[in-house]
């Protein structure tokens, strides 16, 4: 990573001032949104922003975070930090990542977390407002590599409520971890429910397919053994 990235995170900070909090509370009151609970007592985390089905999601999620006194960060290209807009990207919480083929995004994010005193990195696992078959798995691998928990952030447009759900520490057991995440988001409705992306990682399909293949293989092996025993008994 470039040496400048550490200082940029620290200058931006992970908390907002009273004026920003007041502004967020005013926006929530005018728009009729309710912000639930307090921000979890952790210094570093991947903040899951879900569901993501509208252009307004980023704005309202930002207001939720500011309402709770927290500045969310987000991944952006390292080239965006150059003059003349670099100062604004830093202020807005941008975290530089070099996306060229010979750079590993997960490792870069792990380095950013290692260098920062406090960092709350917002990630929308669906990756887009359009409906997809799966969540992208980057958030999970970043959390594991950086050894930081996941905060389940949410926007429930049906009830106009937003905030933070449970804090989850990924164990490496992807299906079990995702079951907990699915359970939390099961009743939360985005701005456009028809665009909801299924809360499931591609790795779960592979794990399930492998388990089914192994089960079929075991059945075939058992059948072959029983067939051999039957032939011997008939002799």
Query: What pLDDT, in 10s, does the model give residues 179-233?
Result: 999 999 999 999 999 999 999 999 999 999 998 888 887 676 666 656 665 655 6
- pLDDT value at position 230? 60
Its pTM surpasses 0.85: no
Average pLDDT over residues 105-124: 93
| Residues 232 and 192 reside in one and the same domain | no
Q: Which two tokens stand for residue 220?
A: 């075939």
Task: Give the confidence band of 37 by pLDDT, cuts at 50, 70, 90.
Answer: confident
Q: Which of 193, 57, 203 is nearest to 122 (CA)?
A: 57
Q: Which range marks the domain in which residue 146 is found?
A: 4-200
pLDDT at 1 over 50: no
User: Binning pLDDT at 50, 70 and 90, where does residue 98 land?
Assistant: confident
pLDDT at 101 over 60: no
More confident residue, 3 or 165: 165
pLDDT of residue 15: 84
Tell me the per-residue pLDDT of 55-93, one tens digit each, with 9 for 90 and over.
899 899 999 999 999 999 988 777 766 777 676 767 667
Same domain, 76 and 107: yes
Q: Per the omega criterion (within 30 degrees of 0), is the bond before 51 cis?
A: yes
One domain, residues 159 and 220: no
Is 158 found in the same domain as 211?
Answer: no
- Give the tens place of pLDDT for each residue, 162-179: 999 999 999 999 999 999
pLDDT of residue 158: 95
Dihedral angle sign, alpha carbons of residues 134, 193, 38, 29 = positive
Of the chain, the percentage scoring pLDDT greater than 70 comes to: 81
Question: How many residues are listed for the chain in this entry?
Answer: 235
Q: Does 214 lie in the same domain as 171?
A: no
227 and 179 share a domain?
Answer: no
Secondary structure class of 202 (helix, strand, coil): helix
Beta strand ranges found along the chain (DSSP E): 34-36, 44-50, 74-77, 94-97, 119-123, 150-156, 161-168
pLDDT above 90 coverage of the chain, percent: 61
User: How many distinct structural domains can be found in the chain?
Assistant: 2
Q: Are residues 210 and 196 in the same domain?
A: no
Within this chain, do residues 48 and 152 fall inside the same structural domain, yes or no? yes
Does residue 21 sit in the same domain as residue 35? yes
Q: Are residues 156 and 218 in the same domain?
A: no
pLDDT at 99: 73
């Amino acid at each position: 990573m470039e040496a400048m990235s550490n200082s940029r995170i620290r200058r931006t900070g992970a908390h907002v001032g009273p004026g920003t909090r007041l502004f967020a509370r005013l926006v929530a009151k005018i728009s009729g949104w309710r912000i639930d609970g307090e921000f979890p007592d952790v210094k570093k985390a991947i903040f899951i922003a879900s569901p993501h089905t509208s252009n307004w999601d980023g704005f309202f999620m930002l207001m939720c975070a500011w309402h709770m006194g927290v500045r969310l960060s987000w991944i952006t290209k390292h080239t965006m930090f150059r003059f003349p807009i670099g100062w604004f990207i830093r202020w807005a919480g941008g975290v530089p990542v070099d996306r060229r083929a010979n750079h590993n995004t997960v490792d870069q994010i792990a380095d950013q977390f290692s260098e920062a005193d406090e960092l709350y990195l917002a990630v929308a696992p669906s990756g887009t407002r359009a409906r997809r078959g799966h969540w992208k798995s980057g958030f999970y691998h970043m959390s594991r590599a950086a050894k930081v928990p996941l905060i389940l952030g949410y926007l429930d447009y049906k009830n106009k409520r937003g905030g933070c759900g449970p804090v989850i520490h990924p164990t490496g057991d992807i299906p079990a971890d995702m079951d907990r995440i699915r359970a939390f988001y099961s009743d939360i409705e985005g701005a456009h429910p028809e665009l909801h992306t299924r809360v499931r990682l591609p790795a779960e399909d592979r794990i399930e397919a492998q388990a089914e293949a192994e089960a079929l293989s075991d059945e075939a092996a058992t059948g072959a053994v029983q067939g051999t025993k039957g032939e011997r008994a008939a002799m």
